[in-house]
Amino acid sequence: MDPPEQQEKQHGSAELEEDFTELEKKVSGAVPPQCHDGWMQRPTIYVVPGDLAAGNTDPYAPAAVCIGPFFGRARRVTEGMAKLERYKWCCVRKLIVGRRCGPGPAGTGTRRQPPEPADWKPEVHAPLLRRCVDAMTSLLPSIRASYSISSSMDTIDGGDDNAVLELKMLLEPEDADMDMGSTLAENMLLDGCFILHRLLKMARIAKRARKEGGGSSDDDDDWTQVYGRCGVWGLVTRDLLLLNNQIPLFVVRALLEQLKGSVDADEGDDVLVDGGLQLFSSLHPRRLQLHQPSALAVPVSLGDAHHLLHLFYMSITNLPVPTQSSASASMDKKLPPELTQWVPCAKELEDAGVRFRARKDGTATSFLDIKFSAGSGVLEIPPLQLYDYSEPLFRNLVAFEQTYPGTPGDVTAYAIFMDCLVKTSDDMRLLHRRGILLNHMNGDREAATEFFSRICAGALASADRNYLAPLMDEVVTYQRGSWPQWRAVLLRDYFGSPWAVIAVVVAAVVVALTMLQTFYALYAYYQPPKQS
């Protein structure tokens, strides 16, 4: 028999081998949920983190229409939403049947009138419906891989455990079953057709606007289909830009591909881009004239957009790559790193000689396009109009940047920069007088003053990805200089009002006359006139 020491050694080796085998199983089986059929798809739609919501989930919850799987219809749909849920079926039918809007009587100048609903022909329309359903079913692996399920889902139905379990059964392949797959395919068909119908309608409006210079009126019966909720479409547009309320755009593209022979749409994805930009033009921080070719600095490609919020995000962040001047490059060596994320408030900067100016239309590509001239001390910021819907819009843009790694983080950097500028109501009044921040929000002024602090609460922005870091360095360095402060004191104390200017001029004239009088008195003393 083996000695006890050898037996113990062999027993220990066997345990190590078992541990290694168990470890190998865990590593080999650690396949991400988004990995299927031998390839890896990165999620593009994330749940808004609870720390960004800070207990306020209203900016991330739909008010009129539920899109996507995050808000379960059985739990979330209210009486008002139920009308739009029924209208989604109407959208599917209209797209399948190929119903078009016809013009009014010739020469009357009346708006387009929708024809009577076409009859459903099973032998014609049922096969097309089947192809749409099959397209959704074939996309289920990609659809599931597009969503990221978090263990913390405070912004979804209050973080209800049943909601999390239902989502896992719906979206995670290992938990999914045939019934949940058919449910997900049906939901994607409904939501995809609803969005496609809206985008095609808006694309027609944009097309008429380019041809006729107008055409903002409706040519469909959307306003009469949802009885008692005629004002709901503004809420629908805002709901389509909620991060928790998205579906992948490849779902809409797949439906368009199946329905091209049925709907009145141009070829290609441009019709969806035009429709999306037209749909969200009223919410754009700087209103775009979308019928002008130069409205966007960089063309937006639908192939690069993952969902509607991403498409909108791309339309507002088409910034040219900033070039850092040699002056700001040298400033980076002088300033401590923490200052690249901070600037003094607007009132302090003005007291230090920084002048605020609203950038004129045509000189800025986006509301993010801020410019500072170190020579003149002028900080130019594009005007931004604040409405009640602005906070949910900005919150979801920031949440998208904080969750999706493929974004530059420009909106977060902008919000942090503006939060530094606006600390008190005096700062808000200063920027309002300069035409930079125009407050149209209901309620007291404090709501506008705290706007950016609420937007960027819990958000993080790294200095190496902050496009405003060089500009912030220049502003801080300029503010610390002595001459700008002296000039600011001079302008404030002696040229702050017309009466002060008059007093300075009078004092200067008195001093000049006194000096002349003294000069002539001394001259007459040392050079008396010759006696004749």
User: 455-486 pLDDT, tens per residue?
Assistant: 988 888 777 778 898 899 899 988 887 555 55
| Residue at 444: amino acid letter | D
The pLDDT of residue 7 is 60
Average pLDDT of the residues in 29-35: 57
Q: What angle do CA 177, 179, 184 make, to 5 degrees?
A: 95
237 and 371 housed in the same domain: no
94 and 139 housed in the same domain: yes
Separation of alpha carbons 441 and 384, rounded Å: 12
Token pair of 23 as six digits: 């470890």
Q: Is residue 10 part of a domain?
A: no
Which of 293, 320, 119, 90 lies closest to 206 in space, CA to CA? 293
Domain that holds residue 170: 45-101+113-316
Which of 398, 503, 515, 488 lies closest to 54 in space, CA to CA? 398
Contact 450, 444 (CB under 8 A): no
Separation of alpha carbons 91 and 193, rounded Å: 6
pLDDT classification of 197: cutoffs 50, 70, 90: very high
Beta bridge partners of 385: 438
| Domain boundary residue, one of 295, 316, 337 | 316
Residue 57, CB-side half-sphere exposure with 13 Å CA sphere: 16
Q: pLDDT digits over 361-382, tens only? A: 667 778 899 999 988 899 999 9
366 and 471 housed in the same domain: yes
Separation of alpha carbons 42 and 64, rounded Å: 29
Separation of alpha carbons 57 and 53, rounded Å: 6
Q: Is residue 161 part of a domain?
A: yes
293 pLDDT above the threshold of 90: no
- As for how many domains the chain has, the answer is 3
121 and 200 housed in the same domain: yes
290 pLDDT above the threshold of 50: no
| Domain boundary residue, one of 276, 296, 316 | 316
pLDDT classification of 420: cutoffs 50, 70, 90: very high
Average pLDDT of the residues in 246-252: 96
Q: Is residue 267 part of a domain?
A: yes
| Domain boundary residue, one of 316, 339, 356 | 316
Average pLDDT of the residues in 15-40: 66
The pLDDT of residue 178 is 60
Compute φ and ψ for 387, nearest 5 degrees: -115, 175
418 and 527 housed in the same domain: no
Compute φ and ψ for 152, nearest 5 degrees: -100, 110
Query: Of residues 310 and 285, which shows the higher confidence score?
Result: 310
Query: Of residues 35 and 281, which shows the higher confidence score?
Result: 281
| Residue at 359: amino acid letter | R
Average pLDDT of the residues in 427-441: 93
281 and 398 housed in the same domain: no
Residue 211 burial (CB count, 10 A): 10
Which of 280, 185, 299, 287 lies closest to 242 in space, CA to CA? 280
278 and 349 housed in the same domain: no
The pLDDT of residue 54 is 75
325 pLDDT above the threshold of 90: no
Beta strands 355-358 and 147-148 are unpaired
Q: Is residue 491 part of a domain?
A: no
307 and 330 housed in the same domain: no
195 and 311 housed in the same domain: yes
Model pTM score: 0.79
198 and 335 housed in the same domain: no
Contact 207, 264 (CB under 8 A): no
Separation of alpha carbons 40 and 32, rounded Å: 8
Q: What CA–CA distances, in Å, run from 128 to 98, 132, 188, 255, 417?
A: 11, 6, 16, 10, 52
165 pLDDT above the threshold of 80: no
Say how many Å lie between the first and final Cα of the chain, rounded: 148
Contacts of 74 (CB under 8 A, 6+ apart): none
Which of 193, 184, 56, 58 lies closest to 132 in space, CA to CA? 193
Q: pLDDT digits over 115-159, tens only? A: 455 678 888 889 999 999 999 999 999 999 999 876 566 667 655
